Structure 1
Amino acid sequence: MNSLSEFGRFISDRTEWIADRWNKTTEGQPELAFSGNTTYQQLANYLPTLCQDLGKRLAKAGKPRRNNKKRSADTQPQHLWEPGYTLDKIVRGLGQIRQIISVDCLDAFARELPEFHASARTNTETVIHQFFNDLLVESAQQFAAEKEKELAGSEQNSQSILDSALDCIIVIGDDGRVQEWNIAAERLFGYSRAQALGKEMADLIIPRELRARHRAGMAQYRATGEGSLLGRRIEMPALRSDGSRVEIELAITPYLVNEKAVFTAYVRDISERVRSDARRAAQYAIAALISGQAPLIELGPKILSTIARSGRWLFAALWVLDKNGKLVCHSTWRSPERDIDEFESETRRRVFSSGEGLPGRVLVSRAPTWLPNLEAETNFPRALFARMSGLQAAFVFPLMGSIGINGVIELYSDEVVPPDDDLLRLAGALGIQVGLYLERERTEEELRRQKEVAVMASQAKDRFLAALSHELRTPLNPVLMWACSASEDKNVNPEMQQGLKMICRNIEMEARLIDDLLDLTRIARGKLQMNLQPCRADALLNHALEIVRSQLFVKNLRLSVDLTASNHQIMADPTRIEQVFWNLLKNAYKFTPENGEVVVRSYDAAPDRVIFEVSDSGRGIDAEVMPKLFTAFEQGTRSGEGLGLGLAICKAVLEMHQGKIKAANKTSGQGAVFTVELKTVPALSVIAPIERKPAAVSPRKLNILIVEDHDNTATVMSKLLRHNGHEVVTASTVRQALEVLHTTPLDLLVSDLGLPDGNGFQVMRELAKISDAKGIAISGYGMEEDLERSSRAGFSAHLTKPIDVQKLQETIQQVTAAA
């Protein structure tokens, strides 16, 4: 987009609007409005042409240069004023029109075109000012020519031109001394014409650090006739008579008079624009700073530096509201140009309550406060230190969040600074930006703290569950081992065998409840392991039925099984899928009254899907429970039976198998229906149903050390292993175990991990140093990290209590066979 051309069309289309604004401007100047059909009328008649000419000038200036050729000089049709005009009224009228176009029109154009940025506006202002300067020069030339005819070259003409110029015009000789100084220069720099004439311009308005460069440039022109800054518009700081600085735009044109160089300097005050640009840049910079993730300790000084450098501030401080409602100094910034150590130290050690000091005052008022003269302040505890540091004025503004004030920023200057409305508006915007950042920082810190608390609570829960698991498993271990072993003894009468098998089943059920607690933790941490392999889902279901069949018999429940699906082959973790079926069957017999019915069936769904249904004739699922049925610790009825973990675990396990589970009440009659959907795989080969085979006994006699501090477990385990023909030695502490290691040849170590004077890892590491014997870890702790620690210590296997005899014998066979 060519903004210059666009603005040219904009003013050309709004000639009537510009004329109307100018008419309103002249209402308070009757000497111009009632000057008859002369100056005012000529300006009014010329205004449409002026707008068109300016539009053409803007369009031409906006065209890109081609072939690196310099742009041809800007020209415009010369306008000749009719007799009867006065030059000062022409100058005043043109100045008013220029003000309307360069301010009001540009503001309106910027509102309609958001992409009209600051640099484009500066370029546009430059073209406008040059156009009017050219028009003034033409008018002055016409006026001078007319007067020259009348007054025969009176010098009064040129002085009138200089005095009526809108910009400063300074004429300098080749020695750098001032030869002419117009009224605009008097107003801007504070020197009268008489004071300025004959003085070197470098000493009058050029800052000390730039004077050497200025004088070198003058010398270069005298020597070569060339100058790097001549014929260009540059922006630079300048000095006023009172020592204060002003930002100016400077253009210097050289010419020869009597073969000597003379320079005309055109100067325009751009302080407002430069200050406004710096402040807007600061606002954007701060927005960029606080949009990231850097903490306040890092951003605080950067925020203060950005704000302070947008103006002539020497010191800045950021105060943050703490949880006790007091303002604490968080960060400071100071200019390297001034020694402000004492004031900075005093600021950093201060804490202000509501209403106390400048920060406390703003905390109460919640509004920016301008303090042009600190000497007059009574509520300023740091006044002595401010005086020592040469600080005279301050500006303090609040940092507002969504629910109140979050802090305060102070700015200090060594000048008595008058109030600045633009800075007040900027402070409002910056205060909200930084205030919301402080609020976000505080919220994130609280979230981090709460996360740490939650993590600690989760870790404490995991430790509790692990300890609970250990304490529940340990006393079950000897009972399960003895009962399972005795139930296989052919010398025990059948009734006793059935009773022992019932004990084994119930201990296994208790162990499964403990596993549910640990599985829930594994699922929450994403550490539930799956051992996928080809298997038959109907075989897994039948095995789960065998486990619960006796419970169905006790309640006299009818069991109907109809597995008609054409393909039951799946790729799954058999133990986990069996766990799903067992949970559903357990729920069915739990919630079905005596003499009820449990129905299990399978059927085909999609070509690669099989459906299993488990339904009962119980009371069904309460309507308010249905939406949260698969949530941990929720139960299907208000009976309060069980932990409410089984269905949550079922859902997680099935989702890990790309399966689904649904629950509903029967459409006819009482009862609930649970539907499991699993993905099938092609039946490439026949997979035998999973059966529990008799325990394999190690074919050779082994020397085994059992390290166990639970007497009943040690006694039962040693008897069972001796019964299988092994030589067994027991120890209940690490010290006893180490004595056996160094005195007895061993084939196998079976060790508990938690021991009174140490742990089983120590025993295993010592065994590995002196022997190739294998080790089996036995523990009530069964989390993944427990298994990993056992493996790192050198154990070949890790069994979690309670352990049945078959599992122990199978593991001994596997471990010693590998040896």
Structure 2
Amino acid sequence: MIESAREYAIFTLDLDNRVTSWNSGAQRLLGYSEAEILGQSGRIIFTPEDNEQGKSERELHIALTEGQAENKRWHIRKDGSRFWGTGFVMPLQNGDDVMHGFIKIMRDETAQRQAEERFQALYDTTSDLLATEQPLTLMHNLFSKLSAQLELDYYFNYMVEEKDDRPMLHLKNYEGISDEAALEIEWIEIGQHLGGLVAQKQQQIVMDQAQLSSHPNAQLNCSLGVTAYAGQPLIVQGRLLGTLSFASRTRIHFTPEETNLLQSTCHQMVIALERTNLLNSIQQQAEQLQRANQIKDEFLAVLSHELRSPLNPILGWAKLLQKGNLNPERTTTGLEIIERNAQLQAQLINDLLDISRILQGKLSLNQMPVDLSAVITAALERVHLAAVAKSLQIETTFSPNARTVIGDAGRLQQVVWNLLSNAVKFTPQGGQITVALTQTDIHAQIQVTDTGIGINPDFLPYVFEHFRQEDGATTRKFGGLGLGLAIARQIVEMHGGTIAAKSPGDEQGATFTVQIPLAPRLGERPSTELSSDSTGDLTSISILVVDDETDSREFVAFVFASGMEALQAIEQSTPNLIVSDIGMPDMDGYMLLQQIRAQLPASQVPAIALTAYAGEFDRTQALQAGFQQHLAKPIEPAEIVTTVARLCERKKKDA
């Protein structure tokens, strides 16, 4: 029975631990013939480290005292190879219960043991990778666990990075070679050596000793004495992050189970890298949201301050004027202050509307050939008084051969005015501002340079972002919403140009450079008219004005406070034109116009929407409702008159 049990090694030992019998299963498992092994010590099949600790003798002692000893450990065959043997040892007794030896039964469970170890290694690797925010820092620990199982001598971890304006592989972690040798292969091309080939093919590459000796990409590995190689790409969502390669100098190949373990390990590394990237992305987004929320709070505080500040002198001087105690000179001064602060508030609102249009992608341009010298001159006129008040010197240099550009003259003037007004605001008393218009082969270039407070290098990258100000504190020295440069950048980019800021640092001035593509040499005469001062002739024109706000009605004309009053007036007399508010109680401007259009078509009586609903959506809705023009409050008297005159003139031509 013992001889027929070929799957088990069954042999006996005497009390001195010498082999006394040996079945064919033992010969097959351990490699010794019966003639070779009889009389040999049982220690012959134990590993050196176990023999140093006396494991063979201890096993017999346990069997003798307890009746049985378990045997689960690595053993040594005749050829020196190891296997995981499991079984037990029991004492042998004769009929008189006299102990005269031991019987040992065991079988080879190396495959199961290795599978358990591979699973444990993979489990440990996964646990370690999930517990860290920097997976690549665990490479050495990971390698030490795998090398004991798979007899590994080297590993190379490359990551894809930019170098010389192209993606290359950068050696980030390694073991088994000197630092000097690592420097020689610190950067390799994708496709170079075996690691580069793994990156190029983006698939696992496994080679045995014969394949390595003949492969053109394996020369580096062969020079290191590598006899077995396995390389794996690190890919996240189709994007190559790098490669991870393992190599051995003591074995000639890796088994399929071992390559699967290495592949699974690399896959866990990829999952950990993806998790880290996701966590970093979430953290960055959280920081960005937090910063955006902070910017929003700062902006709302600044907006409230900037909108309220002009109201104080407006209301104050209005009350003084109402009392009628001011002499003519003081009266003129008060009116000028009221007008200046009202214009300032209107400018703030216009900037907000422009930013709203920009964010919605609805900022439009009225393009035509434009003479930039005229644009700059008009912008200079707008800042002239402010510059004189601070005793600033403004020098201009216009290239005599500067060509025109294709663009919106009004919007380009807005860009230059923003740059000039910033230069005036941030340049101290007696400073200097230089404005230069030149051209390159393909661009017209405007440069505004000042000797002002300069821009901190840390803030310079954010200078063109909307709602961003270098100083957002309540103690800040300079007003404004921080929108001007953001609007300027958008307008310049819509013209196909660029805008850039440069400053050596605090208190060292700043230079803003705008480049706009030149217009073709053949084309229309450039536009130099940036605005119209024509007020038109409104003689004998009957205008129906509808607004629930008394002050607004009296500003335009003294007429009707509600839609019902307007409809009653139309029944008595047909006006030449209608100017109506939108937001009114009981009947808004859209409902009013709908009833008017049932009686009077647009060709007979055009209509203007004059409203505080000033967004792009409101403008579109007004035009769709049947209004011919949309004007936003507040508005200059001249603009109202000009718009009315233009519509009435168009009506005459259509008639």
- TM-score, structure 1 normalization: 0.40
- TM-score, structure 2 normalization: 0.49
Which is higher, the Rg of structure 1 or of structure 2?
Answer: 1
